Amino acid sequence: MKFIDYRISEDIKKSLNEHSFKRPTDIQYKAIPSILKGEDVLAIAQTGTGKTAAFAIPIIHLVNQLKDKREARGIQCIVLVPTRELALQITDVFNQIGKYTNVRTLTVYGGVDQDPQIQSLNSGVDILIATPGRMFDLVSQKHILLNKVKTLILDEADHMLDLGFIKDIHDLLRFLPKRHQTLFFSATIDKKIKKIAYSLVKNPIRIQISPKDPVARNIEHSVAYIEMDDKRFFLERIVNNNPDSKILVFVRTKVRAERVLKALERVGIKSATIHSSKDQSDRLSALNNFREGKNNILVATDVSSRGIDIPNVDFVVNYDLPDQAENYVHRVGRTGRASKKGQAISFCSKGEINILQEIEGFLKKRITVLEISKNEYLQTIEFSGESHADWKSLLKNAEQSERKRKKKKKKN
């Protein structure tokens, strides 16, 4: 079945054709009809399978129909997401698909001045894409009215609920009409989150794509056993061996991200970081530069792995293994998207072996081990630009100390 065969607005079909959307992906094929019928949906699918378009296409069509009939007043749909970057990305998708319609989409998120967002809200909005904190602030200030909302969407739903937003979501439901549609979309979902999700929906249609393998088949996975203090040398080697490749590096903490940045700087490798402590403008700049190929190395924390679509990422490097096994899926899902091939390389220290076993248990398969001989391991460190710099520094200090010793000896 092709998109031209769907009973959706011709304006939407026009924009889909412009972006070369010919046939629906599996998740789109299964989700779109149910959403168009107004049914609640709980959808689980791998990253890179087109989940955003799976809900954007039918929602834009439904809202556009109401606007054509002049029945749409106020916000008709809310999309809640865990991060600002994901909010902006989803907004781009809605704007692309709704380009030729009368549907107005707005993003609101924290970390920036709220006044421009309030002005846009006052101009009239049909679909609101938001992070919870800023949205609830604007609801409490009565800048956002929710009494007309017909659809609530939680993207990266497992992360949203796991972050403790469940109370906020229950509070949100008090503002929504009793009869509304609820959609959950995520790449992973555990029993605890599933139970919470089912408590928020009514007789949902459950859609699960590729349940036996939570990661895309076109990603090649491998793990290398590397001590924590030596990881920077092996990252340097990967970068130098793949000078034209786009490499996304994941670390566990914000502090680790900045340390890796400095380590790369010491060996002359340009990179950027993205994490929650950075200003929003800096985060967007780093992400856009990476997306556009102006900078090929981006060091990120787990929050950035959620749903962000960056084209043509060649390598995902798990510099640190994630705290939670399911986050491995979200990290490696940044590569091998759609039909493209990707590589996921993990560095595992002695202290991370238990985490690796949890990841393999979650994947229900072993990850290929990259065998590194003792000689190769030592050579990687020895031939590092940082290692050379250290040796030069040590030699220089030794020579200076020797000269001082000789001068002192002569005086004596």
pLDDT digits (tens, 9 = 90+) for 141-171: 999 999 999 999 998 877 777 666 777 788 8
CA nearest 211: which of 30, 22, 357?
30
pLDDT score for 193 = 72
For residues 308 and 96, give the distance between their C-alpha atoms in angstroms, rounded to a whole number. 17
Query: Out of 50-64, 243-257, 338-352, which region has the weakest mean confidence (pLDDT)?
Result: 338-352
pLDDT score for 389 = 47
pLDDT score for 408 = 62
3-208 matches 219-375 in fold: yes
More confident position, 113 or 192? 113
In the structure, what pLDDT confidence band is assigned to residue 132 with cuts at 50, 70 and 90? confident
For residues 350 and 329, give the distance between their C-alpha atoms in angstroms, rounded to a whole number. 22
More confident position, 52 or 405? 52
pLDDT score for 100 = 96
Q: Average model confidence (pLDDT) for the chain?
A: 87
pLDDT at 342 over 70: yes
CA nearest 287: which of 86, 81, 46, 48?
86
pLDDT score for 324 = 86
pLDDT score for 394 = 44
pLDDT at 329 over 90: no
pLDDT at 28 over 50: yes
pLDDT at 391 over 80: no
Please give the distance of CA 208 from its chain centroid, rounded to a whole number: 20
Give residue-wise pLDDT tens across range 306-320.
656 788 899 999 999
HEC-encoded secondary structure of the chain: CCHHHCCCCHHHHHHHHHCCCCCCCHHHHHHHHHHHCCCCEEEECCCCCCHHHHHHHHHHHHHHHHHHCCCCCCCCEEEECCCHHHHHHHHHHHHHHCCCCCCCEEEECCCCCCHHHHHHHHCCCCEEEECHHHHHHHHHCCCCCCCCCCEEEEECHHHHHHHHHHHHHHHHHHHCCCCCEEEEEECCCCHHHHHHHHHCCCCCEEEECCCCCCCCCCEEEEEEECCHHHHHHHHHHHHHHCCCCCEEEECCCHHHHHHHHHHHHHCCCCCEEECCCCCHHHHHHHHHHHHCCCCCEEEECHHHHCCCCCCCCCEEEECCCCCCHHHHHHHHCCCCCCCCCEEEEEEECHHHHHHHHHHHHHHCCCCEECCCCHHHHHHHHHCCHHHHHHHHHHHHHHHHHHHHHHHHHHHC
pLDDT at 183 over 90: yes
In contact, 238 and 222? CB cutoff 8 Å: no
CA nearest 139: which of 113, 176, 183, 90?
176
pLDDT score for 125 = 95
pLDDT score for 171 = 83
In contact, 381 and 236? CB cutoff 8 Å: no
The percent of residues above 70 in pLDDT, for the chain, comes to: 89
- Look up the CATH number of domain 3-208: 3.40.50.300
- Look up the CATH number of domain 219-375: 3.40.50.300
Residue 168, C-beta contacts closer than 8 angstroms, at least 6 positions apart: 132, 136
pLDDT score for 198 = 81
pLDDT at 207 over 70: yes
pLDDT score for 395 = 47
Q: For the sheet with 342-348, list strands across it.
A: 272-274, 297-300, 247-250, 315-318, 342-348, 219-225, 368-369
Which pair of structure tokens corresponds to residue 17?
């054709």
Query: Out of 162-166, 205-209, 244-248, which region has the weakest mean confidence (pLDDT)?
Result: 162-166
In the structure, what pLDDT confidence band is assigned to residue 397 with cuts at 50, 70 and 90? low
In the structure, what pLDDT confidence band is assigned to residue 382 with cuts at 50, 70 and 90? confident
pLDDT at 398 over 60: no
pLDDT score for 96 = 96
More confident position, 190 or 289? 289
More confident position, 283 or 344? 344
pLDDT at 133 over 80: yes
pLDDT score for 396 = 53
Domain regions of the chain by residue span = 3-208, 219-375
